[in-house]
Amino acid sequence: MSIVKEYLVAGFPRVQAREASAPLHERLFTAGEASFALFDGSRLKSIPLTSELGAALAAPGVDPATPVSELIGEHVLPETLGDDEHLLDVAGRLLRSRGPYLPVVSADNVFTGVVPRQEMLEDIVRIYHLGLQEGVSLELEVPVVGVRVSDIVAAIEKNDATVLSFGVSEPRPGDEGMVITFRLQTSELFRLVKNLEHYGYLVRYHSRTDHAPGDELRDKALEFMKYIEM
């Protein structure tokens, strides 16, 4: 499973607030560390960028021995993640954060390290196959009541398509329909769309190969078949 603690960055630098800025910056820069965890005793203050410290040191008249906490401006600490939380449970916090790293705490609220925001977001994309070149995004508008997702999945797979992932948009109060979005792999998108429409679903779709040779003919054939049915 994709648990937060599996993403902890080994050897992430921890710095005390009273440490002299210039020697610290030289050490971090030499080691290729882009960020560091800034502590005041045992309390995590922020996760600043090494470049931010370098820019502050480059200002005229700055004493190289100035404590790092006096050169680094105030930061809003990113939301913490629990080390035993699942990747998908922290997706909202990953999206709200703007820094490259988020702090992680144990069950008893002890800091255990940091995790890379970008890598975790990329893994969510991978889990849901959102970046798959051959993937097809297909939306079905279905009634709120009386529809089983398992039946829709079975209907899709009967048409030689593979369901990679799906999600359901929460219907608003008073809505009679809801939207289910699927990520699929199929070589027969035209036939799949036609067969799903026979079930009475409103189908919207997009494929990265929508504009490949032959698709225009398929679209015209689809329009023609709809015209015949009318």
Who's near 78: CB < 8 A, 6+ residues apart? 47, 93, 97, 99, 101, 102, 103
DSSP 61: T
Structural domain ending residue among the three candidates 59, 92, 125: 125
pLDDT on residue 213: 47
Task: Label the pairing between strands 37-40 and 43-46.
Answer: antiparallel
What's the whole-model pTM score?
A: 0.80
pLDDT on residue 217: 53
Helix/strand/coil for 43? strand
15 and 102, same domain (yes or no): yes
Helix/strand/coil for 25? helix
111 and 182, same domain (yes or no): no
Structural domain ending residue among the three candidates 66, 90, 125: 125
pLDDT on residue 31: 96
150 and 207, same domain (yes or no): yes
114 and 149, same domain (yes or no): no
Helix/strand/coil for 22? helix
143 and 120, same domain (yes or no): no
pLDDT on residue 22: 97
The string of DSSP letters for 163-227 reads EEEEEEPPPPTT-SEEEEEEEEE-S-HHHHHHHHHHTT-EEEEEETTTTSTTHHHHHHHHHHHHH
pLDDT on residue 221: 55
Q: What's the number of domains the chain is made of? A: 2
> What is the CATH classification number for the domain harbouring 158?
3.30.70.260
Low-confidence ranges of the chain (pLDDT < 50): 211-213, 230
